[in-house]
Amino acid sequence: MKLTDYNYRELAALLADRGEPRFRAKQVNEWLLRGAKPMEMRNLPLPLREKLASLPYGGAEIAQTRVSQKDETEKYLFTLDGGNLVEGVFMRYRHGNTLCLSTQVGCRMNCAFCASGLDGCVRNLSSGEMLSMLLRVEQRHGESARGRNVRNIVLMGSGEPLDNYDEVLRFLHRVTGEDGLHISARNISLSTCGIVPKLMTLPDDAPHVTLSVSLHAPTDAQRNELMPINRVYPIAELMAAARHYAEKTGRRIIFEYALIGGFNDSKADADALAKLLRNLQAHVNLIPLNPVPERNLAGCTREHAKLFENWLAQSHISATVRREMGTDIEGACGQLRRKEESGKIERAEYMEIKI
Ligand code: SAH
């Protein structure tokens, strides 16, 4: 474990072991939550700063920033220890600035439309790396008059959060906790392709974040083609887990649905989707597929997405077409990292499908 991975309780134990007075843990924790490095922790005595500096720090640094000319969306490439690169995206919405974070370097899930899974998963991110990405973005934007610049966090970057369950939980606890950043769980969304056993334990293990389920198809036959995970946890099991989450947390579930021209965007698809979501507190986020060249799947027009939204509305299913942001800066997950690392990515680990 590296310094940025320690939560307050663990820092207290670490420093107590080294004979430091109790209040030091609070000081170090506060510095770490501001993204400081040991030698920047000004109110600590020099020997303690030096001791902390001798530990591996971890965390993340912004290596590259691209700013969209269209909508001021910012896309970052972060470097991690070991030289790995991951992406993050900062979006300005009317309801507040939103930061999209990655949870893994690459992804094991290999969905048929996604750039992140093209080379498998290199490794999980640690809680401190995820936290550090958030803090670096806060630092970049400076303190705003009203406090934090990032109001909402979405775990929708590269990687499958529930495939890195323990570290994602640690991250969520530190972000929401009293000894952490105190950000409300309501302002955090976790997006998953549907690892059902983890989904079942999530409401007990984590603060009640907004759950987004990447559904993308209304039938197993279609979903099997798009998402290998569906052959392990088919739609009926996924829906039962989503229902369980909704009941335990009292929260509405968001379903993400990428519209793929000629594949899942017909009136019959809309009707099948509406049937699936009947009797569930649900909202559908429609996303015209952002075509990834290597994947060879078509998107759909905004007009067609609006039509699909109307079909759902006729069946009393709430849905909206997501605004596309940062299309001029490789906004879709995994695209920028691939561009930067092209030819350099070697290790690949795909999900093994056990039927
Ligand atoms: N592994 C998580 C989070 C990752 S991606 C998950 O599966 O939910 C966040 C969302 O973007 C998911 O809904 C994912 O399916 C979607 N997505 C990935 N590639 C896309 C693309 N090319 N166009 C549109 N949506 C895409």
Distance CA 119, CA 98 (A): 27
Measure CA of the first residue to CA of the last residue in the chain; give whole Å.
35
- DSSP label of 81: G
* Distant-in-sequence, close-in-space partners of 70: CB < 8 Å, separation ≥ 6: 326, 327, 328
317 lines ligand 1 (CB under 6 A): no
Beta carbon of 258 within 6 Å of any ligand 1 atom: yes
Give the C-alpha separation, 331 to 311, whole Å: 28
If you take atom 11 of ligand 1, which residue's CA is the nearest one? 156
Question: Which atom of ligand 1 is found nearest the CA of 191?
Answer: 8
Q: How far is the CA of 267 from the centre of ligand 1 (A)?
A: 23
Q: Tell which atom from ligand 1 comes closest to the C-alpha of 193.
A: 7
Position 335 scores a pLDDT of: 60
Give the nearest ligand 1 atom to 216 CA.
Answer: 15
Strands (E), the chain: 60-67, 74-80, 85-93, 96-101, 104-106, 121-124, 152-155, 188-192, 210-214, 253-259, 282-288, 318-321
CB of 333 sitting under 6 A from ligand 1: yes
Instruction: Pick the atom of ligand 1 nearest to 290's CA.
Output: 23
Cα separation, 326 vs 44, in Å, equals: 42
- Residue-level pLDDT at 146: 62
User: What is the DSSP track for 112-152?
Assistant: TT-SGGGG-EEEEPPHHHHHHHHHHHHHHH--BTTB-S--E
pLDDT of residue 319: 97
Query: Which one of 107, 160, 214 would you pick to mutate in the ligand 1 pocket, going by the greatest count of ligand atoms within 8 A of its CB?
Result: 214
Q: Which ligand 1 atom is the nearest neighbour of the CA of 299?
A: 23
Q: Name the DSSP class of 193.
A: S
Q: How many C-beta neighbours within 10 Å does residue 137 have?
A: 24
- Residues carrying an active site annotation: 87, 333
Centroid of ligand 1 to alpha carbon of 19 (angstroms): 47
Q: Whose CA is nearest to atom 22 of ligand 1?
A: 290
Q: Which residues of the chain have pLDDT under 70?
A: 143-146, 327, 330-355
| Contacts of 161-164 spanning 24+ positions with Cβ under 8 A | 161/103, 161/190, 161/191, 161/192, 162/190, 162/192, 162/195, 162/198, 162/199, 162/202, 163/103, 163/104, 163/107, 163/108, 163/109, 163/121, 163/124, 163/195, 164/103, 164/104, 164/124, 164/125
Q: Whose CA is nearest to atom 26 of ligand 1?
A: 114
Contact 38, 107 (CB under 8 A): no
3-class DSSP assignment, residue 330: coil
Report how far ligand 1's centroid is from the alpha carbon of 289 (Å): 9
Q: Which residue's CA lies nearest to atom 9 of ligand 1?
A: 156
- Nearest Cα residue to atom 19 of ligand 1: 114
Distance CA 32, CA 172 (A): 16
In whole angstroms, give the CA distance from residue 65 to residue 161: 24
Mutate to test the pocket of ligand 1, among 102, 111, 253, 296 (most ligand atoms within 8 A of CB): 111
- Measured in Å, residue 125 CA sits from the centre of ligand 1 at 18
pLDDT (0 to 100) of residue 340: 64
Q: Using N-to-C axis directions, what is the helix angle for 235-249 and 196-205, rounded to 10°?
A: 10
DSSP-assigned letters across all residues of 198-236: HHHHHHHHS--PEEEEE---SSHHHHHHH-GGGGTS-HH
User: Furthest-apart CA pair in the chain: how many Å?
Assistant: 69
Phi (first) and psi of residue 104, to 5 degrees: -145, 160
Q: Is the CB of 114 under 6 A from ligand 1?
A: yes
Strand order in the sheet with 60-67: 60-67, 74-80, 85-93, 96-101, 152-155, 188-192, 210-214, 253-259, 282-288, 318-321
Angle between helices 267-277 and 302-314 (to 10 degrees): 50
Give the three-state DSSP class for 261.
coil
Burial class (CB in 10 A: 0-12, 13-18, 19+), 69: exposed
**With a 6 A CB cut-off, is 122 part of the ligand 1 pocket?**
no
pLDDT for 293 equals 85
**Which of these, 159, 157, 212, 190, lies nearest to 333 by C-alpha position?**
157
Answer whether 292 contacts ligand 1 (Cβ < 6 A).
Answer: yes
Residue appearing with tokens 């691209």:
66
Q: How far is the CA of 159 from the centre of ligand 1 (A)?
A: 9
